[in-house]
Amino acid sequence: MRTPRTSRAARRKLISVAAISATLLSGTATAVALAGPAAAGTPSAEAAAPAASTAAPAERLIVGYKSTAAEAKSNSAASADAEAKGREAGEDLDFQRRLGTGAALVDLGDRLSKAEVADVIAEYEADPQVAYVVPDRLNKPLADPNDTEYSKQWDLFEATAGMRVPGAWDIATGSGVTVAVIDTGYVTHSDLAANIVAGYDFISDTAVSVDGNGRDSNPADPGDWYAANECGAGVPASDSSWHGTHVAGTIAAVTNNSKGVAGIAYNAKISPLRVLGKCGGYDSDIIDAITWASGGTVSGVPANTNVAKVINMSLGGSGSCTSATQSAINAAVNRGTTVVVAAGNSNANAANYSPASCNNVISVAATNRSGSKASYSNYGSVVDIAAPGGQTSTGTANGILSTLNSGAQGPSTESYEYYQGTSMAAPHIAGLAALMKSANSSLTPAQIESAIKSNARALPGTCTGGCGAGLADATKTVQAVSGSGGTGGTTYTSTAAVSIPDAGSAVESPITVSGRTGNAPSALQVGVDITHTYRGDLVIDLVAPDGSTYRLKSSSSSDSADNVSTTYTVNASSETANGTWKLRVQDVAAQDTGTINSWKLTF
């Protein structure tokens, strides 16, 4: 028996929007912007979303009766017929009204699957008094945004290697979400101003801040230019980058304002947090910015009134993630904030760079306009996803166009420029995370990461070394988390705690998967929650039903941080999905113990 009928408005919220077609630098500071040169128990299963679909099932039907039928003239007869057809199909149908053509509009009740809709249609088609029955389709205006430079934003819409953003705008535009851009600050730009909310200047060293003071509530970017050798021997001079403003424009430039560029989450808000100045920025300032952005308390800094649900950090430095940075990231994620970071621009393994190698982040590699890994982009097993970052060496227009300023040193006139870098790729994912959070406010950071990976498409080009789950697909991902398509995945979870002995034998935690067909996916998500006082001691493997093993984590004598709380991506496409999967964990060194708290597989 179905639950009592609720109004259509209560069961489904339609968002009315126009459908849119279509070097790392060494120096005393430890982080720099990552942009290339401009123009240069018992396991359980839970369904997270409907099965993959590019179109949602119908919610209403238009039924045309033959002129001789009583239902063609009598609303009560049409209503009685809908109820009868519903009983036959096992659904709750409701006659809504008579159309001007005389056809009957029939509501299908709570959201039905395609198969259930087909059953209802079959009941009507079997009735000789029914002339036709068709879905009541939802139509939308078809228009490109009117931003004058939108046609140059191949990264949003091009079929080959764009991130397929326009289709996501049918569902969400970022409303209600604040994104913290932890970067160089913000220089005034009319194509961004309406979406800027209060931020903070976290640079405490005046030699780095170059604005005449330390920390304050003004995140304005005075410019980060430097003279030759000022940032280290042999380092050439550089003009101001206005890097934070370029990143912010990709995420949330004002859209449909007849000027400039379109932002990915164009109704989201940007909170600019300044941590990078002359020659870079320090970990300590970045850690405080992460804490404050996510709603944590920082001594001497007023409470944040614009808490961010997404953080973008298009910055990094050499060396693996430190315990200090990891602690700040973990706390931010625990508060419900998704942290997106750039993988780095050294064409090297991202495991040797921070924050790209930190746990609990979405680490983003950059692709070029052909969909291959950009020549400069870092790669490796710590990379989660790829997104357009551009490559201007093949032509300026093959970079990422966004908001900028023309000043070589201090601010001058606003402008738009092409940049390249993993700095440009990361805000594509931050913008996507904002769209997802806008479409489904209950999403956790882990769910956001998992959905982005599960709905990625294979790279159109190549990537040697590893580019994560593939090229992000905004439309499919937002459809998935909103329940209107995509692949949200089915998750199988074990919550039975398993102790990990100190320097002992490997222990295993099983999950039995059943009811699936075929093989596991090429981007199987393995979520792990392990408490341990020195995670560098741990070796973690996924064991497939046939005994094949997939290394998730190796031991490391330099990784002294606590706990493993992250999601790994495994290409398990050669493995049969059904069967008993195991998480195998071994502590290979003395003095520390831990526990497998839980783990999960998302197909």
Distance, in Å, from the CA atom of 403 to the CA atom of 409, rounded to the nearest integer, reads 17
Q: Where are the beta strands (DSSP E) in 385-438?
A: 385-388, 400-405, 414-419
Distance, in Å, from the CA atom of 182 to the CA atom of 186, rounded to the nearest integer, reads 10
Burial level of 279, CB count in 10 A (0-12/13-18/19+)? buried
Q: Strands 104-107 and 130-135: what pairing?
A: unpaired
Distance, in Å, from the CA atom of 208 to the CA atom of 196, rounded to the nearest integer, reads 24
DSSP 261-324: ---TTTTSEEEEEE--BTTBB-HHHHHHHHHHHTT---TTSPPPSS--SEEEE-EEEESPPPHH
Amino acid at 504: G
Give the active site residue among 92, 107, 183, 201: 183
- Exposure string of 548-559, with b = 16+ CB inside 10 Å and e = fewer, is eebebbeeeeeb
CB 582 within 8 A of CB 601: no
* 592 in catalytic set: no
Tokens in use for 558? Answer: 């330099």
Tokens in use for 139? Answer: 């139509």
Give the active site residue among 201, 221, 238, 243: 243
Q: What phi, psi does 446 have (nearest 5°)?
A: -65, -40
* 246 in catalytic set: no
CB atoms within 10 A of CB 183: 32
Give the active site residue among 209, 346, 423, 598: 423
Tokens in use for 457? Answer: 């498409």
Coil, strand or helix at 364: strand
Enumerate the β-bridge partners of residue 511: 581
CB atoms within 10 A of CB 233: 8
CB 106 within 8 A of CB 63: yes
Task: List all residues 6 or more positions away from 468 whose beta carbon is below 8 Å from its beta carbon.
Answer: 363, 364, 365, 383, 384, 385, 386, 453, 456, 569
* 183 in catalytic set: yes
Q: Strands 32-33 and 315-318: what pairing?
A: antiparallel
Amino acid at 339: V
Catalytic machinery residues: 183, 243, 423
